[in-house]
């Protein structure tokens, strides 16, 4: 059972998200919160697996991400918001968010994203990823810096990072590269350390910025 928290200051939005998620028999919404403080407390009290957080709720959703990462390391924090501009996305990922989704995400895609986040896989709305890459390309903050960060990766690690950037799970990467799941996991751990990424989402964005998906 995947235990989920929904944190949004709009009660109607929380209700709608709950109704979508509860169509999946393996997902259980164990708590709701109208602000960042209650969201952090709920994660601690209910052993939440995935926290869906609005970025502009009272108390600030990104503050909630930081506190959840500090006090509830088991919880995967995923932003679910109407605001997809680059500064908000960057702040959330740097704070430790494991995903960034927009509120126009379809019901089946939202359920799939919760499942993937619970499994530790990155979940980024496609338009968010494109926006990040486009911004860094235009501003000159992307390809050169990203290329330097992946320069010391082995060929095998580059292959894993490339597939991670497309959103594949460990099992899918293992199948594509004919590796064991344990080997893929070890490669990802090494990639995070070598590239100074704090989680898989940041690594996926790095793969995009470095042009590995071109």
Q: Give residue 191's domain range.
A: 142-209
For residue 191, what pLDDT band results from cuts at 50, 70 and 90? very high
pLDDT of residue 126: 72
Half-sphere exposure at residue 12, Cβ-oriented, CA atoms within 13 angstroms? 0
Domain match, 121 and 149 both: no
Total-model pTM: 0.76
Domain match, 155 and 186 both: yes
User: Average per-residue pLDDT in the chain?
Assistant: 89
Question: How long, in residues, is the chain?
Answer: 214
Does residue 151 belong to any structural domain of this protein? yes
- Distance, in Å, from the CA atom of 120 to the CA atom of 52, rounded to the nearest integer, reads 14
Measured CA distances, 1 to 47, 69, 119, 120 (Å):
12, 21, 12, 15
Q: What is the pLDDT of residues 45-82, one digit of tens each?
A: 999 999 999 999 999 999 999 999 888 989 999 999 88
Q: What is the pLDDT of residues 18-31, one digit of tens each?
A: 999 999 999 999 99
CB 39 within 8 A of CB 53: yes
pLDDT at 185 over 80: yes
Here the contacts of 172-177 (C-beta below 8 Å, separation 24 or greater) are none
- Choosing from 65, 97, 125, the residue where a domain stops is 125
Does residue 97 belong to any structural domain of this protein? yes
Q: What is the CATH number of the domain that holds 183?
A: 1.10.10.10
What residues pair up with 99 in beta bridges, in sequence order?
78, 123
CB 96 within 8 A of CB 69: yes
pLDDT of residue 198: 78
Does residue 173 belong to any structural domain of this protein? yes
pLDDT of residue 188: 95
Residue 24 DSSP symbol? S
pLDDT of residue 41: 96
Closest CA to 17 of 59, 79, 66, 62: 79
Number of domains composing the chain: 2
Q: What is the pLDDT of residues 72-112, one digit of tens each?
A: 989 999 999 888 777 788 888 888 898 899 999 999 999 99
Does residue 115 belong to any structural domain of this protein? yes
Domain match, 108 and 176 both: no
Domain match, 115 and 149 both: no
């Amino acid at each position: 059972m995947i235990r989920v928290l929904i944190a949004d200051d709009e009660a109607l939005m929380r209700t709608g998200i709950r109704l979508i998620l509860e169509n999946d028999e393996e997902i259980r919404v164990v708590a709701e919160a109208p602000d960042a403080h209650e969201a952090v407390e709920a994660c601690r009290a209910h052993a939440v697996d995935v926290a869906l957080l609005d970025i502009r709720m009272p108390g600030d959703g990104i503050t909630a991400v930081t506190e959840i990462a500090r006090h509830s390391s088991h919880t995967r924090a995923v932003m679910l918001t109407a605001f997809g501009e680059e500064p908000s996305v960057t702040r959330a990922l740097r704070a430790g968010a494991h995903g960034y989704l927009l509120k126009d995400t379809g019901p089946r895609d939202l359920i799939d994203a919760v499942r993937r986040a619970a499994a530790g896989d990155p979940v980024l709305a496609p338009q968010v990823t494109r926006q990040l890459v486009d911004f860094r390309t235009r501003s000159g903050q992307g390809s050169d810096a990203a290329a330097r960060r992946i320069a010391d990766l082995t060929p095998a690690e580059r292959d894993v990072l490339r597939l991670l950037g497309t959103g594949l799970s460990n099992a899918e990467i293992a199948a594509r590269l004919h590796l064991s799941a344990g080997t893929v996991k070890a490669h990802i751990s090494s990639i995070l350390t070598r590239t100074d990424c704090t989680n898989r989402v940041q690594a996926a964005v790095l793969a995009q910025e470095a042009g590995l998906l071109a």
